Structure 1
Amino acid sequence: MGSDARGEFLCVFKTLTDGVKDDLRTRFDLPEEAHAYILRSMEYNVPHGKLNRGLTVVQFARDFYAAKGQTASDEVIFQASVLGWCIEYLQAFFLVADDIMDASITRRGQPCFYKLPEIGLKAVNDSIVLEALLYEILRKHFRSAQCYQDIFDLFHEITFTTSVGQLLDLTSQKEQGDVDLSTFTEANLVRIYKYKTAYYSFYLPVALGMHLCGIKDAELFDTAKDICIDMGVLFQSQDDYIDCFGDPKTTGKIGTDIEDNKCTWLVVEALKVASPSEKTLLEDNYGRPDEAKVAVVKKLYESLELPAKFVAHESEYHARLVSKIDAVEGQMPTGTYHFLLKKIFKRSS
């Protein structure tokens, strides 16, 4: 899927935005300032990421019909694009709220929305509006579709799952200066990855494509979930690595996991091989908003050869996923899985 597909996808965003403008004027007696505020939030927060989640739904529709020797109609591609943008609205809702909770500074190469002086904590309500717009768009374009109830339920299910994952992530963090290394276990880490990231970033776009194309086989949905959760675990471990060792000019985000006392792939792996004195070093420096202490932790990671271990970890997951994808049978097109895997393997942002 090249730049033309991305451009076409962005054109659908403009169509949906124009529809939201009209709907707001029809349904609400709002001053012009309020209209402008909502539209600015949409434009600032929704369309500026990689758009991989949304484009995956479109890719699935193309792959499904191609596997039958057909070409997906313009109507199907539009419907897939609408569902894709619904995911991007969900992503925007999550990210606006997440940035506030994590006290993040930048997102996608620009200040986090709440960091804009004229926005501040109004962004809490803005995140709620972004989620509500998802369902307005979904209802407008899918209300009469046979798959509407399944799609509606799926969005609610995944939103709940992701919010539980965020809860696990937040409650894994102790207060600054209160580091409990015993909580940084692989089981806790994978649980956070699974619920916070894997379901909405990977399973949701694939499952939406399956519902849109009329796939009903429960075993195929289970297989999709299994593959997508593994992808989510790989993806989130990459995020942890990039947060520490990535270049903010490339990532568009300043990493804060160490000072935020987060349970990450790096700290879990460090604890597996650290000596007693190195664990003490972690206890003394992890989870503290001090550049010098953060530097100590990063230096420890390097001395424990975690960058090399991460390369091996990434390759192991890639091989596991290729094997699972190759084993898929039935009417499920596997091209979408390869599309996703190609997008994330050895990524730097």
Structure 2
Amino acid sequence: MDHRTKFEGTWIRVRSELMDHVASEGMLPEAVEWYGKNLDYNMTGGKLDRGLSVVKTAQIIKGEELDDNEYYKAAVLGWALELLGACLIVSDDIMDNSTTRRAKPCWYRVPSVGLIAINDAFMLESAIYYLLKKHFRHTPYYVDLLELFHDTTYQTEMGQLMDMTTALEGNFDLNRFSLDKHRLIIIYKTAFYSFYLPVALGMCLTGVPESYTLEGKTVEPYKVALSILLLFGEYFQSQNDFFDFSAPPELVGKIQVGTDIVENKCSWCVNIALALATPEQRKVLDENYGRKDPAAEARVKEVFEAVGVRERFAKYEADMYERLEELIAAIPEGPERGTLKRQIFMIYLEKIPKRVK
């Protein structure tokens, strides 16, 4: 049985726990049924990368396969993270007025759902804290888990706020954009939630302490992990931005090729173009970026091609890969259990450059 299949198999039990709990609260039958539909629609069909990363991290730190009890606890944390992802997706789709997600209508677009989806997003998030209380309340790291989820949710919401207010519809002032602003949005909206949280949860579960001594050096593993994983988040989202501009629909996996240009996003590509554009090219960007017009989008892409965004991304990717490789190699590593392992980060390093969205 492969890792994904095994992890997916635990969802049946997790879902049952959630459904039994809402039923035990005396909710009306139609509300319980609705909650089940919410879970089934929004918790299936994803890549599950974040949830799987929790389990993989725990296995790597332990140094051997998790027993059944350990595996299920890791899987619960993985599914709690997937619940956070589902909550963010449901709300994000409403804010973006999106139409499809994972090749089906966004939840709020489903007939009879509409803006009930806002409460459904809250329900998905609240399920996290029921699972944490049920499975980890009597552990010494329960508060650490709560803080990880609360802090990361708050950080992600701050990232979403920065992203939305930077891309306000009708505000076409490209002077508001910069690579520094782009990086800040990425770190808060993507990196904490998609990269640091899965690894930190796996570390917490396996008893990795705040600090330890290895090879005569004091190691602060959570700080080390954070510094590397935020950089992975920056790399990942910049790659996403590049795919949004450059990849054909069959690779992007959407009905249309990317939407960053027409949605006036502070993307990696536009910031690179702004730095390289001639006055004439800058005028084209000013007049066309953010307009919901295919012809305007095409003119922006022509500028991207002309200033060499593709070549710039190839160099950025090579430089970022080398930098991450050096940081991972510098992690003090020994045979001790409960310590940080380079393999955790090598999984990301081996995967991200080869992915296609």
* TM-score bracket for this pair, using the shorter chain length: over 0.9
| 1:142 equivalent in alignment to 2:136 | yes
When residues 104 and 29 of structure 1 are mapped into structure 2, their CA distance, relative to the original with a 3 A threshold, is: closer
| 1:293 equivalent in alignment to 2:287 | no
Question: What residue is the counterpart of 2:11 in the other structure?
Answer: 13
Question: What residue is the counterpart of 1:179 in the other structure?
Answer: 172
- Report matched runs for 1:267-278 at 5 Å: 267-278=270-281
Q: Is the 8 A contact 1:97 1:127 kept in 2?
A: yes
1:293-346: CA deviation from partner (whole Å, max 9, x where unpaired):
112112221222212221221221111111111111152112111112223223
Q: Distance in 2 between matches of 1:197 and 1:325?
A: 20
Post-superposition offset of 1:256: 1.7
- Report matched runs for 1:75-94 at 5 Å: 75-94=69-88
Post-superposition offset of 1:114: 1.6
Bigger CA drift: 252-261 or 13-22?
252-261
When residues 55 and 274 of structure 1 are mapped into structure 2, their CA distance, relative to the original with a 3 A threshold, is: same
Q: Which of the residues 258, 262, 267 maps onto 1:259?
A: 262
Question: What residue is the counterpart of 1:56 in the other structure?
Answer: 53
1:11-55: CA deviation from partner (whole Å, max 9, x where unpaired):
111110111111111113312x32222111112112321111111
Read off the aligned partner of 2:340 and give its amino acid letter. M
Post-superposition offset of 1:172: 0.7
Question: What residue is the counterpart of 1:235 in the other structure?
Answer: 236
Q: Is the 8 A contact 1:9 1:81 kept in 2?
A: yes
Q: Distance in 2 between matches of 1:46 and 1:347?
A: 22
User: What SS does the aligned partner of 2:269 have?
Assistant: helix
Structure 2: 5+ residue stretches without partners: 212-219, 334-338
Post-superposition offset of 1:10: 0.4
Q: Distance in 1 between matches of 2:266 and 2:247?
A: 18
User: What SS does the aligned partner of 1:50 have?
Assistant: coil
Post-superposition offset of 1:251: 3.1
TM-score (structure 1 length as normaliser): 0.94
Q: Distance in 2 between matches of 1:111 and 1:238?
A: 26
User: What SS does the aligned partner of 2:354 have?
Assistant: coil
Read off the aligned partner of 1:346 and give its amino acid letter. K
The aligned length equals 342
TM-score (structure 2 length as normaliser): 0.92
User: What SS does the aligned partner of 1:120 have?
Assistant: coil
Structure 1: 5+ residue stretches without partners: none
Read off the aligned partner of 1:242 and give its amino acid letter. F
Q: Distance in 1 between matches of 2:89 and 2:313?
A: 26
Q: Percent same amino acid at aligned positions?
A: 40
Read off the aligned partner of 2:23 and give its amino acid letter. R
| 1:206 equivalent in alignment to 2:199 | yes
Q: Distance in 2 between matches of 1:210 and 1:45?
A: 27
User: What SS does the aligned partner of 2:2 have?
Assistant: helix
Q: Distance in 1 between matches of 2:181 and 2:15?
A: 40
Post-superposition offset of 1:244: 2.3
User: What SS does the aligned partner of 2:115 have?
Assistant: helix
User: What SS does the aligned partner of 1:158 have?
Assistant: helix
Post-superposition offset of 1:181: 1.3
When residues 109 and 342 of structure 1 are mapped into structure 2, their CA distance, relative to the original with a 3 A threshold, is: farther
When residues 249 and 136 of structure 1 are mapped into structure 2, their CA distance, relative to the original with a 3 A threshold, is: farther
The CA RMSD measured in Å over matched residues stands at 1.5
Question: What residue is the counterpart of 2:331 in the other structure?
Answer: 328
Question: What residue is the counterpart of 1:37 in the other structure?
Answer: 34
Q: Distance in 2 between matches of 1:50 and 1:344?
A: 14
Read off the aligned partner of 1:345 and give its amino acid letter. P
Question: What residue is the counterpart of 1:220 in the other structure?
Answer: 221
Q: Distance in 2 between matches of 1:108 and 1:245?
A: 20
Q: Is the 8 A contact 1:10 1:47 kept in 2?
A: no
Q: Is the 8 A contact 1:174 1:180 kept in 2?
A: no
Question: What residue is the counterpart of 2:89 in the other structure?
Answer: 95
Read off the aligned partner of 1:54 and give its amino acid letter. G
1:78-115: CA deviation from partner (whole Å, max 9, x where unpaired):
11111111111101111111111112222222222122
| 1:311 equivalent in alignment to 2:323 | no
